[in-house]
Chain A
Amino acid sequence: MSDASFKFEKQNRTIMQRLFEPPSVGKMAPVAKVVAYTFLAIWSLFVLFPIYWVIITSFKDAAAVNQGPYFIPFIDFQPNLDAWRAQFNLDPFCDFSSIARQLYLLVHNSFVFVVSPIVSLQPMEPQICKIYLAFTNSIVISIASTLFCVAVGSMAAYALARIQYKPKFGNIMIFVLLIIAVIVVTTYAGVPWWASSTVALALFFFMARAFGRHFKMSLKNGDILFWIISQRILPPIVVVIPIYVMFQAVGMLDTHLALILLYAVANLPIVVWLMHDFFANLPIELEESAQLDGATRFGIFWDIVMPLTRPGLAATTLLILVLNWNEYLFAVFLATVKVQTMPIMVAAKNAGEKGVFWWEMCAIIVVMIIPVIIMAVLLTRFISRGVLLGAVKG
């Protein structure tokens, strides 16, 4: 290309150049623009359509579902509230505003239930209705286990970022061997579990005291961190049956506490992984300064470190909340009668004798999705600010 043509390129661009080259830096070429928006539009449709289908199905009746696909309410089919009435015990003449009211009641009464141990509020129009119970269970379990999980997980993550641990490899081997011994003795010899585990625990402390000094090899913080995070690899199906037996042994099947603990452990690796990164990246002078000023380790954690990681903490909490809200496998194994959660409620609609009541199931799914979508909007804010990116970078 000669100098002259280079100089006048801007004015005399060919059609191809106009189509394929961006008009200026920071803009897109016309063709690229068309391609990009087409893809984005197609994908939006792909993403939104199933959700749209669930929502409109919840306003269909049996005929509208069974007689072939109808797409657009009021044109294809007449929407009605049968499904919602069935779920919320609505009177037959209610309209959309009373659905909104019922949804509000659902949230309100669940809130009342959650705070009832602390504050005595009266539930509005108390109704003994399955969905209220399930919704409340879901809220109680997911919030409680999220808070528990984030608290325990961030404490561990902080400790691993700041305190040096040197667990002896030999002691760990002793511990694992004792676990195996406890299990073998309990299952094959019929020794009660509490007796064997107490003996094993006592033995462990005794042996760690006695031999601990002689072990040379020890693990470092990185190993402990990796160990905790790697627990996420464990497929839940491996542990769910033994856990079922464990909870049965202590009479905790079908309790809130069982699910709260389990959900917390299942998500602990994620919390430790994400939070460790935040803690490790805090300027250490702040903590050293507080240490010199006489603050305790826990005081530093609570008063200095936690407020500084607030965005990360919020994002992590939201993420865990969503995961807990959606959890199904543990719930279906361990809690089916008293502490039904929302996902179980959904699945239960599939097992009806008169066929699947799709419209009712869709109504429940919609109720499940609404809070999650709100959290999704909040979470994308955090993620787009790169809040959760640090951990992924390793």
Chain B
Amino acid sequence: MSYNTYDNQSGFAPAGPTRGDRWREWVDRHSGTFFIAPAVTLILIFAIFPTVYSMIFALSRVRFTGDGLKFRYVGLRNFAKQFFGSDQVHFLGRTEPISIFGTIVFIAIVVAVLWWLFRSYKKTTWVGMIGRTISAAMAIFLSWLLTASLLSGNSIGTLYTTLFYVLVGCFLQFIIGTGLAFLCSQPIRGKNFFRVIFFIPLMVTPLGVGYAMKMVADITKGPFEPILALMGLTNWVWSADAWSARFVMMICDSWQWIPFIFICMLAALENVPRDHVEAAQVDGASSVHIFREVTWPQVVPVAVTVLLIRAIEAFKIMDLPNIMTGGGPGSSTESMTLHSVYVWRANDMGTSAAIAYLLLILTVVVCASFFNYVVLGQLRKAKA
């Protein structure tokens, strides 16, 4: 048979770009730019630019006038106010008097942190050392605040309220979420049913969750009224006490976010190779043993990443306390975002931006530390 059917095949493979293709060719040669430019431009305009702009707000006294905003440079006064001035109790909490117990704990933590810093001095590069110094400074500051306020019996401010939501919330949600995921990864019936049911709260609008929880937690008209009455707690009001209010916040927040941990951990657990588990089963290991020795080590990288994501989102908490308590009683359930929003509503844009910036610094330092010292290590271990 003939292979010479198309004698015009020189047209199939031009020796170079023809004139009609010039434009397409030019686009193709610069495709690298075209692919990434939209994303980078959007981020520059709507994330980087506003972040820098926000700094100008934070360094200024901003007034509304007839023709727009007027900025007056005030230096770091908006920030200083949070730490030393009029807003100190609101932001940091009461830090005096510091108790003996608090002092001892503080000194112990400082020694531990400095020891860690000293030990890592030889191991890292100078860039790593700068990062570690920042982490250590943040750790010392936070532990001073913790010991001076909470551990000395004083009230805490929005900074520690936020951290409470993040740290205690993440811990609780992670334990329960992973536990549920473990249960659902066992050979049980109706797995898919539970999977969908447990996932739904994550999808409900946080605002809706806030209002639903406000109704459910209502102590006179809510569903728990009969139970409280039975226990003789008719006069108990959770929203009147700072800690009970915070814990109710956290339960409601957990209702929404445990599903996130649950669904990620379940996927991770189910992706552990079956033959590893089966080998352990043949060896006669109990299911608790299998979980600890075989399954858990393989899901740790996912676990720490999920925790990181959860923590990043947890720092942004605002809807729940805003709706359920309006930040009260006093300002005891106010997160930093909410604090910033309330200050903004009082038309103090400069201070509002300063608080937002402090939240940004706190989030970045805490999350970056966790990422560098925990997540990266686990990921490297998983890859090795």
**What is the interface of chain A, defined by CB distance below 8 A to chain B?**
22, 25-28, 32-33, 36-37, 39-40, 43-44, 46-51, 53-54, 57, 65-69, 71, 152-153, 155-156, 158-160, 163, 165, 176, 179-180, 183-184, 187-188, 224, 228, 231-243, 245-246, 248, 261-262, 264-265, 268, 272, 294, 296-298, 301, 322, 325-326, 328-329, 342-343, 346-347, 350, 358, 361-362, 365, 368-369, 372-373, 375-377, 379-380, 383-384, 386, 388-389, 392-394
Contacts and interface: CB of A to CB of B under 8 A. Distances in A.
Nearest to A273: B309
A384 B266 contact: yes
Contacts of B138: none
A346 B211 contact: yes
A233 to B, nearest CB: 5
B195 A384 contact: yes
B331 to A, nearest CB: 16
A48 B220 CA distance: 21
A264 B45 CA distance: 12
A68 B225 contact: yes
A238 B50 CA distance: 8
A234 B255 CA distance: 24
A264 B42 CA distance: 9
A240 B46 CA distance: 9
B52 A180 contact: yes
B151 interface: no
Interface in B312-363: 312, 315-316, 318-319, 323, 337, 340-341, 344, 349, 352-353, 356-357, 359-360, 363
A96 to B, nearest CB: 22
B interface, how many residues as a size bin?
A: 35 or more
A235 B42 CA distance: 17
Grouping DSSP codes into helix (H, G, I), strand (E, B) and loop, the A interface class, with mixed when no group exceeds half, is helix
B39 A375 contact: no
23 contacts: A39-B183, A51-B212, A53-B223, A54-B215, A163-B35, A176-B48, A179-B49, A183-B49, A188-B71, A233-B360, A238-B360, A241-B344, A242-B54, A265-B46, A297-B31, A298-B34, A328-B207, A350-B323, A358-B215, A365-B212, A380-B192, A383-B199, A394-B301
Contact of A261 (B28, B46, B188, B213): B46
B250 interface: no
B1 interface: no
B56 A238 contact: no
A57 B208 CA distance: 13
B123 to A, nearest CB: 22
Given A67-B221, A376-B203, A392-B268, 4 more contacts: A160-B36, A248-B68, A368-B205, A393-B268
A325 B196 CA distance: 19
Contact of B319 (A67, A328, A379, A392): A328
B382 to A, nearest CB: 7
A362 to B, nearest CB: 8
A325 B302 CA distance: 27
B91 to A, nearest CB: 15
Given A54-B215, A272-B39, A384-B270, A233 B363 contact: yes
Give the most central of A47, A65, A67, A298: most B CB within 10 Å. Answer: A47
A394 B305 contact: yes
Given A241-B349, A242-B49, A386-B267, A298 B344 contact: no
Contact of A234 (B38, B208, B360): B360
